Amino acid sequence: MRRDSLLIDLPEPKDADPDAGAALNEILGGQFGEMSTLNNYMFQSFNFRDKTKLKPFHSLVASITAEELGHVELVTTGISLLNNGPPSKAPTAHPADAPYAHMRKARDVAGFAMGAGAGLPFDSNGRPWNATFTFHTGNLVLDLLHNFFLECGARMHKLRVYEMQTDPVGREVLGYLLVRGSVHAQAFALALKKLTGVEMTNLLPVPNITHDNIPEARKFEVEGRHRVLYRFSDRDYADIAGIWSEDETTYDKTGPLEVVDLPPDPGPDSLKAMEGSASSFTPDYAPEEILEIARKLYGKAKG
């Protein structure tokens, strides 16, 4: 379930923009955020009734769970990058010179004071993510219907937060998530169609937004990322191909659907922007000492 890279490579932020980070926090810990999609599918798959008889449906919910974990990591990284800015622009002034005076006016002062600008599971107003956002009834049709609704609602929120973002980091995160959210909405719609015969796919896209005006989303469609559903394994969940099937076409009618074994892997360098900063915000932090310790531990581990 874990990989040593993000799902996509993110650009460096231009500047610290903690209010943009706070807005992006809605997509992490808001009611329709990634914490909600992750926990919905995770607990639905853990508590799934008649797993064996209904295997393709269990596999679908379980494999999308793994992707949502990757989305949580991606948004968390985006928030942290926006909150802190590029390492080269980290404040270096002495604590007595109030290097973070500007943070008094940021909308999430508590998040910065306590969490050092990390992405944490709160919404854009600092309210904690809430377990009551997790929906599980044990009725498969109702749960799939809820998941379809959740993905459609999440798309609307992502679009609104995208429209608030001026830094490339937030736009890149949301462009990618808009595409993947559309894929998940289509996946749950197809599951409902194959289970009940009801053509939920005719409703798509809900909301009715194309990605033509969103370059950060459009480029992932040009790459064909909207054709694929990942099963995060070369061993498990192959039967999702019964739902995400080759005889179906993408939501924009440009090509057949495809199941791929492993998720995209831009490599460990995709984590490169998350550097520590020896600033007055963490005055006792001595990076060279910690790097030396890390080097020794790494050498030891390699034997």
Tokens of 106: 């940021």
Q: Which residues pair with 228 in a beta bridge?
A: 258
Taking the complex as a whole, the smallest distance from the CB of residue 71 to Mn ion amounts, in Å, to 4
| Residue at 32: amino acid letter | F
Angle between helices 55-84 and 34-46 (to 10 degrees): 150
**Residue 37 interacts with Mn ion (CB under 5 A): yes or no:** yes
**Residue whose structure tokens are 């993905």:** 151
Q: Using the rule CB under 5 A, which residue among 184, 211, 226, 227 binds Mn ion? A: 184
Using the Cα atoms of residue 117, residue 118, residue 124 and residue 126 in order, give the sign of their dihedral: negative
Other CB atoms within 10 A of residue 246 CB: 10
Q: Which stretch binds Mn ion (CB under 5 A): 35-43, 114-122, 140-148, 207-215?
A: 35-43
Dist. CA 18–CA 124, nearest whole Å: 11
Q: Using the rule CB under 5 A, which residue among 71, 157, 226, 231 binds Mn ion? A: 71
Dist. CA 97–CA 59, nearest whole Å: 56
Taking the complex as a whole, the smallest distance from the CB of residue 11 to Mn ion amounts, in Å, to 20
Q: How far is the first Cα of the chain from the last one, in angstroms, to the nearest whole number?
A: 27
What is the phi/psi pair of residue 229, to 5°?
A: -120, 130
Taking the complex as a whole, the smallest distance from the CB of residue 68 to Mn ion amounts, in Å, to 5
- Nearest residue (CB) to Mn ion, 39 versus 280: 39
x/- site string to Mn ion, residues 49 to 68, per CB under 5 A? -------------------x
Dist. CA 296–CA 145, nearest whole Å: 52
Taking the complex as a whole, the smallest distance from the CB of residue 148 to Mn ion amounts, in Å, to 11
Taking the complex as a whole, the smallest distance from the CB of residue 183 to Mn ion amounts, in Å, to 8
Taking the complex as a whole, the smallest distance from the CB of residue 38 to Mn ion amounts, in Å, to 8
Q: Which stretch binds Mn ion (CB under 5 A): 27-35, 44-52, 167-175, 276-284?
A: 27-35
- Nearest residue (CB) to Mn ion, 84 versus 231: 231
Q: Which stretch binds Mn ion (CB under 5 A): 70-78, 190-198, 232-240, 284-292?
A: 70-78
- Nearest residue (CB) to Mn ion, 98 versus 131: 131
Instruction: Give every CB contact of residue 195 below 8 A, 6+ residues apart in sequence.
Output: 57, 140, 141, 144
Taking the complex as a whole, the smallest distance from the CB of residue 237 to Mn ion amounts, in Å, to 16
Taking the complex as a whole, the smallest distance from the CB of residue 251 to Mn ion amounts, in Å, to 14
Dist. CA 30–CA 121, nearest whole Å: 8
Of 132-171, which residues contact Mn ion (CB under 5 A)? none
- Nearest residue (CB) to Mn ion, 48 versus 176: 176
Q: Which stretch binds Mn ion (CB under 5 A): 24-32, 55-63, 184-192, 202-210?
A: 184-192
Instruction: Give every CB contact of residue 7 below 8 A, 6+ residues apart in sequence.
Output: 67, 70, 71, 73, 74, 176, 263, 264, 266
x/- site string to Mn ion, residues 99 to 138, per CB under 5 A? ----------------------------------------
List residues near Mn ion by CB under 5 A.
34, 37, 68, 71, 184
